[in-house]
Amino acid sequence: MNEEKWKTYITDIGKGRICVRGYDIRDLMENLTFSEAVFLILKGELPTKEEGRMMEAILVSSIDHGVTPPSVLATRTVISGGNPLNAAVAGGVLTIGDSHGGAIEECAQILQEWAKKEGEIEPIAKDLVEDFTNKKKRIPGYGHRLHETDPRTIKLFELAESLKFSGRHIILAKAVENELEKILTKRLPINVDGAIAAVISDMGFDYRLGKGFFIISRIPGLVAHAFEEWTKQKPMRKLGDTNFEYAGPPQRIIQARGR
């Protein structure tokens, strides 16, 4: 009797054999960098030299951004409570969502949808910004709470240009930045999430992998923060913003009630 089997196109394993996307793991270990292997497992094909270099820059760009992001605070808090390294890193990853790390996916979806429209980029960018403005919606991937100009964006776009990945999506992202400045009368620069969104779109990646790029990039940083908290700090120390003010009702008394 034949059983129905579900199919996977990623990795084939057997006794003494591991093949990722059809390539022996030993060959990958000898011939690919980690970033190139990430490209292979996500895309299904070996990267060109240029694709591998671009992938490496993307993954390095978001490896860490200090102790203040939610994922880092969560990681440090979990391990400070006496939990193991894997639980701490998992806690950090679980904070990655639409407001933290999610802008890559959201911005890439917008860029991929609007870049499909026929015509010159500038009018498309103008329509895009007007559409979001009329709906009172913020365009993800623009602006940063700390950086007036995100240094990672500049470098990613420089590399994309030199490696021949600066296509319609990056052009659209830059045009949107210009349109936003016209409407807001202030500059709202493309941040690293917006830059990654534009680059991976020009590289042909599905926008739904956006959060995946951020997770893969950020995990080494979370491991480092967890280890530092574990080895350098006292357990259960004060983390995050403790400068709070109680605004609830004053102390109350429960009157005796019959049962």
Question: Within the chain, which residues score under 50 in pLDDT?
Answer: 1
- Tokens found for residue 254: 């429960």
pLDDT attached to residue 146: 66
For the segment 4-23, what is each residue's pLDDT rounded down to a tens digit? 889 999 999 999 999 999 99
pTM confidence score: 0.91
CA distances from 233 to 151, 225, 242 (A): 31, 11, 18
Q: Is the dihedral of CA 102, 94, 221, 218 positive or negative?
A: negative
Q: In whole angstroms, what is the distance from residue 215 CA to residue 102 CA? A: 10
Predicted local confidence at residue 252, as pLDDT: 94
What residues contact 37, with CB distance under 8 A and at least 6 apart?
20, 28
Q: Which residue has the tokens 């500059």?
A: 187
CATH of 48-235, picked from 3.10.20.90, 3.40.50.180, 3.40.1190.20, 1.10.230.10, is 1.10.230.10
Q: How far apart (Å, rounded) are the C-alpha atoms in residues 252 and 233?
A: 38
**Contact (CB, 8 A) for 201 and 108:** yes
State both tokens at 65: 């951004």
Mean of per-residue pLDDT scores for the chain: 94
Q: How far is CA 242 from CA 88, 234, 239, in A?
A: 21, 17, 8
Using the 8-state DSSP alphabet, how is residue 190 labeled?
B
Inter-axis angle of helices 192-202 and 49-61, nearest 10:
160
Q: What is the DSSP letter of 199?
A: H
